[in-house]
């Protein structure tokens, strides 16, 4: 072990970091399961897990051991060579997703870039010169140029024109708007949506998951690719391995990241059916995509999720949290929505300040998105006792606030 001690951060000390984030003045030095600790040992309950990333909790011993052992053996060779851990990770991911082909990337945005390239290739092969993709209002797909163009949030796009001209936007959940777009734009080749909008405020479509079935039908009718962004909803988060498994449909293209590595940066774009084979030799690549270490982490994360029955746990304990919140906050003007461990509490007013109040007064880490939605993304393997601990802190927080 090295013994480098970092000086504590002074708020008014100049920093060389680009100021792209609004950071809270706190840092954690250690984590264990659902809890985070500051240097002085103060314990915080983490209902955010690095924004739906550490689904199995912090410092999971099985994953920590896999990382340490592989780091001491071999971190990276190259996709110029066979990588047995990558093949094994793809096998696991195919098993839990029902998809056929998998390309490993390093982030969510990069996975969506792969999906957008697949859609363009699909269109080009049919002689469409400027292929278009339908996307939804309030969506979030990433911060690269193509994915910020796909994103339905002006703040994400502001100052970064020209946007790519791939995208046609419709209201989330509005099937008629999709059919209208089809009449107006003969160049549409795909639809890209989130099953539940995460950054947009934990939004499910008004008709629930049957929206996905309706979109699947439209895609079949027009020979479009159905592409789902499950970067946030995947890996057990909603009480199914992937959220579309709440339905009977399968998308043609599926992207994921966040929970796939439990904190290790990995992502994946997956295909099945008519999307298979569109990206052939030389058409896509990533130096870091599917390294030996990253692939072993993916394999171990999926294996651990399976062995711990963490997906079923997310459904049961997440359902309990939602039921309890609805019951205990019944006299408040709030709406509780979400599935599994992806939960939003819509407050009647903007409530960004709740993040600091929760942290300082209740030692609880939460997030507020879309202005007035308290977003909870606890570990998918959270225990019943931890869920009760969460409920106690959260109900006190909201009762004091409203």
Contacting residues toward ligand PLP, per CB under 6 A = 107-109, 112, 140-142, 194, 198-199, 229, 231-232, 257-258
Which CB sits closer to ligand PLP, 258 or 296? Answer: 258
Establish whether 242 is an annotated binding residue.
no
Establish whether 331 is an annotated binding residue.
no
Structure tokens at 269: 């774009």
Establish whether 229 is an annotated binding residue.
yes
CB of 241 to ligand PLP, least distance (A): 16
Sheet containing strand 367-369, strands side by side: 335-339, 342-346, 373-376, 367-369
Question: Which H or E run contains 190?
Answer: strand 188-193
State the Cα–Cα distance between residues 307 and 61, nearest whole angstrom.
14
Which CB sits closer to ligand PLP, 298 or 397? Answer: 298
Integer CA distances (angstroms), 99 to 86, 94, 249, in order: 16, 5, 12
CB of 106 to ligand PLP, least distance (A): 8
CB of 33 to ligand PLP, least distance (A): 23
State the Cα–Cα distance between residues 156 and 141, nearest whole angstrom.
10
Could you give the 3-state DSSP secondary structure of residue 322? helix
Q: Count the neighbouring beta carbons within 10 Å of the beta carbon of residue 353.
A: 10
Q: Count the neighbouring beta carbons within 10 Å of the beta carbon of residue 10.
A: 8
CB of 267 to ligand PLP, least distance (A): 6
* Angle ∠(382,366,402) on CA atoms, nearest 5: 115
DSSP tag of 204: P
Which CB sits closer to ligand PLP, 46 or 229? Answer: 229
State the Cα–Cα distance between residues 316 and 328, nearest whole angstrom.
18
For 111, list phi and psi in degrees, rounded to 5. Answer: -65, -45
Integer CA distances (angstroms), 255 to 14, 188, 195, in order: 38, 20, 12
CB of 196 to ligand PLP, least distance (A): 9
Which CB sits closer to ligand PLP, 232 or 313? Answer: 232
Establish whether 28 is an annotated binding residue.
no
CB of 363 to ligand PLP, least distance (A): 26
Which CB sits closer to ligand PLP, 96 or 192? Answer: 192
Question: Which H or E run contains 228?
Answer: strand 225-229
Sheet containing strand 267-271, strands side by side: 101-105, 267-271, 253-256, 225-229, 188-193, 132-136, 167-170
Which CB sits closer to ligand PLP, 35 or 241? Answer: 241
Q: Please confirm whether the linkage preceding 162 is cis (ω < 30° from 0).
A: yes
Residue of minimal Cβ distance to ligand PLP: 108
Establish whether 286 is an annotated binding residue.
yes
State the Cα–Cα distance between residues 130 and 272, nearest whole angstrom.
23
Establish whether 213 is an annotated binding residue.
no
Cβ atoms of residues 194 and 229 within 8 Å: yes
CB of 140 to ligand PLP, least distance (A): 5
Which CB sits closer to ligand PLP, 235 or 295? Answer: 235
**Furthest-apart CA pair in the chain: how many Å?**
65
Establish whether 138 is an annotated binding residue.
no
Establish whether 232 is an annotated binding residue.
yes
Which CB sits closer to ligand PLP, 140 or 264? Answer: 140
CB of 109 to ligand PLP, least distance (A): 3
Establish whether 140 is an annotated binding residue.
yes
Establish whether 392 is an annotated binding residue.
no
Q: Which residues are annotated as a binding site?
A: 108-109, 140, 143, 229-232, 286-287
Q: Which residues are annotated as a binding site for N(2)-acetyl-L-ornithine?
A: 143, 286
Q: Which residues are annotated as a binding site for pyridoxal 5'-phosphate?
A: 108-109, 140, 229-232, 287
């Amino acid at each position: 072990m090295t013994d480098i001690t970092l000086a504590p951060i002074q708020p008014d000390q100049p920093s060389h970091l680009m100021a792209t984030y609004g950071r809270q003045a706190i840092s954690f030095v250690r984590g264990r399961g659902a809890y985070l600790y500051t240097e002085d040992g103060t314990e915080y309950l983490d209902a955010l897990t690095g924004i739906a990333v550490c689904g199995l909790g912090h410092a999971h011993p099985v994953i920590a051991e896999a990382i340490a052992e592989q780091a001491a053996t071999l971190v990276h060779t190259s996709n110029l060579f066979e990588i047995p851990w990558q093949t094994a990770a793809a096998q696991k991911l195919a098993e839990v997703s029902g998809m056929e082909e998998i390309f490993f990337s390093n982030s969510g945005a990069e996975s969506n870039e792969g999906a957008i390239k697949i859609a363009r290739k699909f269109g080009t092969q049919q002689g469409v010169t400027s292929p278009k993709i339908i996307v939804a209002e309030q969506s979030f797909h990433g911060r690269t140029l193509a994915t910020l163009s796909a994103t339905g949030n002006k703040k994400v796009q502001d100052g970064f024109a020209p946007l790519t001209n791939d995208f046609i936007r419709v209201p989330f959940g509005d099937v008629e708007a999709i059919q209208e777009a089809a009449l107006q734009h003969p160049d549409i080749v795909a639809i890209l949506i989130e099953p539940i909008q995460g950054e947009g405020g934990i939004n499910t479509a008004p008709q629930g998951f049957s929206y996905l079935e309706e979109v699947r039908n439209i895609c079949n009718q027009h020979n479009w690719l159905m592409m789902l962004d499950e970067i946030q909803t995947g890996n057990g988060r909603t009480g199914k391995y992937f959220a579309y498994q709440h339905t009977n449909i399968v998308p043609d293209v599926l992207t994921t990241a966040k929970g796939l590595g439990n904190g290790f940066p990995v992502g994946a774009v997956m295909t099945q059916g008519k999307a298979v084979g569109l990206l052939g030799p030389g058409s896509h690549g990533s130096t870091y995509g599917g390294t030996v270490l990253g692939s072993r982490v993916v394999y171990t994360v999926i294996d651990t999720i399976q062995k711990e029955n963490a997906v079923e746990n997310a459904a049961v304990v997440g359902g309990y949290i939602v039921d309890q919140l609805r019951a205990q906050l019944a006299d408040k003007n709030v709406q509780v929505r979400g599935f599994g461990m992806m939960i939003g509490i819509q407050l009647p007013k903007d409530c960004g300040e709740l993040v600091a109040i929760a942290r300082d007064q209740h030692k609880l880490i939460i997030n507020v998105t879309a202005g007035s939605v308290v977003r909870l993304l606890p570990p998918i393997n959270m225990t019943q006792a931890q869920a009760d601990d969460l409920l106690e802190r959260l109900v006190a927080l909201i009762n004091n606030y409203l």
